[in-house]
């Protein structure tokens, strides 16, 4: 199943990303600029994402750096998916740590401005980009660890949930959760599935119905995150954890598919790209998103 998803995700993405790459060669899209650092490290940075690859460990750190709150705009999501695809294609990269460069914020979730008074075409494109981000992260054959060093509501929480493991700063001021209902939105079924896979049915049910945002300690209690550590240890703990995970036989294990993360087998919700974009268009044309309505009033 994971292989299937991975291939279908790759198929779904390759056309779009290929187009974007061609586009970028003509200068229309932000280009990731490679540069070399000492100790077998390489880095590439776009305007919203920094990717640092350590070739000696096979671990890449993908740092979101889009002030003020790393909101998931169309540009952000596109750059994110391109960065992840590049790592996926790099046979030397075996693990990705996702973190934020911003103080106090991991990601504020979907960019509210992308959902205000936009055309159905833009909404469709935006929503497709949200799906692509999720497919790419959840279906990744690399080990993915979220180093959650700040608050992470809604789509930010989804990003973390799409990773294999979540380490959060033990700051009680930081919160995380799928709070969509508090905003008058229904979390799509694949948000729900991703949450259920992590915390189980009952916790997911309560979380979604009440739109709960959990403090870091409560997130640990419910299983929404796997580990709390002091804020200044989030990244180093993520690296140590990644090293442990990478020591588990995977690529060379008997009967395994190369680089397919076994933890994801049979857990993958089925997502149909066309169905979801279609629903986003109809929701949009119905002014279903409250921000859209209030902005037009």
Ligand X SMILES: CC/C=C\C/C=C\C/C=C\CC/C=C/CC(=O)SCCNC(=O)CCNC(=O)[C@H](O)C(C)(C)COP(=O)(O)OP(=O)(O)OC[C@H]1O[C@@H](n2cnc3c(N)ncnc32)[C@H](O)[C@@H]1OP(=O)(O)O
Active site residue 5: no
Per DSSP bridges, beta strands 95-100 and 59-64 are parallel
Q: Which is nearer to ligand X, 111 or 132 (CB)?
A: 111
Which residue is catalytic, options 29, 77, 110, 158? 110
Q: Do the beta carbons of residue 169 and residue 231 sit within 8 Å?
A: yes
121 is catalytic: no
Q: Binding of ligand X at residue 188 (CB under 6 A)?
A: yes
d(CA 9, CA 193): 17
Catalytic-residue membership of 155: yes
Per-residue x/- mask for ligand X, residues 66 to 85, rule CB under 6 A?
--xx-x--------------
CB of 133 vs ligand X, minimal distance in Å: 11
Report in angstroms how near the CB of residue 287 gets to ligand X at its nearest: 8
The CB-of-185 to ligand X minimum distance in angstroms stands at 4
Residue 126 or residue 245: which is nearer to ligand X going by CB?
Answer: 126
By CB under 6 A, is residue 101 in contact with ligand X?
no
Alpha-carbon span 260 to 267, nearest angstrom: 13
Q: Is 49 in contact with 85 (CB distance < 8 Å)?
A: no
Active site residue 180: yes
Binding window for ligand X (CB under 6 A); candidates: 53-61, 200-208, 259-267, 279-287: 279-287
Catalytic residue among 95, 150, 155, 156: 155
Binding residue (CB under 6 A) for ligand X from 110, 133, 143, 225: 110
Interface residue with ligand X among 97, 105, 147, 160 (CB under 6 A) is 105
Pick from 3, 44, 41, 9: which is nearest to 190 by CA?
A: 9
Tell me the residue nearest to ligand X as measured from the CB: 109
If you ran DSSP here, which 8-state letter would residue 110 be given?
A: B
Q: State the nearest-atom distance from the C-beta of 280 to ligand X, in Å.
A: 3
How many CB atoms neighbour CB 7 within 10 A? 11
d(CA 67, CA 290): 24
Q: Whole-number minimum distance, CB 235 to ligand X, in Å?
A: 20
Kindly identify the residues of this chain, within the stretch 198-227, that bind ligand X according to CB under 6 A: none
Distances (CA, A) of 8 to 2, 3, 5, 133: 10, 8, 5, 14
Name the phi and psi angles at 97, rounded to 5.
-105, 125
Q: Could you tell me the CA-to-CA distances from 140 to 34, 102, 116, 245, 262 in Å, in that order?
A: 22, 25, 31, 15, 11
x/- map, 125-154, ligand X, by CB under 6 A: -xx-----------------------x-xx
Phi, psi of 141 (to 5 degrees): -85, -5
Angle at the Cα of 146 from the Cα atoms of 263 and 173, rounded to 5 degrees:
135
Which residue stretch of 25-33, 81-89, 232-240, 276-284 sits at the interface with ligand X (rule: CB under 6 A)?
276-284
Where do contacts with ligand X occur on this chain (CB under 6 A)? Answer: 68-69, 71, 104-105, 108-113, 115, 123, 126-127, 151, 153-155, 180, 183, 185, 187-188, 280, 283-284, 289, 292
């Amino acid at each position: 199943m994971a292989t299937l998803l991975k291939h279908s995700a790759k198929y779904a993405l390759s056309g779009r990303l290929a187009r974007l790459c061609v586009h970028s060669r003509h200068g229309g899209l932000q280009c990731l600029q490679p540069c070399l650092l000492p100790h077998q490290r390489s880095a590439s940075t776009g305007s919203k994402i920094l990717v640092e690859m350590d070739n000696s460990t096979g671990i890449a750190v993908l740092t979101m750096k889009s002030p003020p709150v790393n909101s998931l705009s169309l540009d952000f999501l596109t750059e994110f998916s391109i960065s992840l695809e590049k790592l996926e294609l790099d046979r030397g990269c075996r693990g990705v740590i996702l973190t934020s460069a911003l103080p106090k914020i991991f990601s504020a979730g979907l960019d509210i401005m992308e959902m205000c008074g936009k055309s159905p075409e833009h909404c469709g494109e935006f929503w497709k980009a949200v799906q692509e981000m999720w497919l790419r992260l959840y279906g990744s054959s690399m080990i993915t660890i979220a180093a959650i060093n700040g608050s992470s509501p809604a789509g930010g929480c989804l990003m973390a949930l799409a990773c294999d493991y979540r380490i959060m700063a033990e700051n009680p001021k930081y919160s995380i959760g799928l709070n969509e209902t508090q905003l008058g939105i229904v979390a799509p079924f694949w948000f729900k599935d991703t949450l259920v896979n992590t915390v189980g049915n009952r916790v997911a049910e309560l979380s979604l119905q009440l739109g709960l945002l959990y403090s870091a300690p409560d997130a640990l209690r419910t299983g929404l995150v796997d580990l709390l550590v002091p804020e200044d240890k989030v990244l180093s703990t993520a690296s140590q954890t990644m090293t442990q995970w990478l020591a588990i036989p995977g690529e060379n294990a008997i009967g395994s598919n190369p680089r397919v993360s076994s933890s994801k087998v049979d857990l993958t919700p089925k997502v149909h790209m066309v169905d979801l974009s279609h629903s986003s268009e109809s929701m949009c044309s119905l002014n279903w998103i409250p921000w859209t309505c209030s902005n037009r009033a």
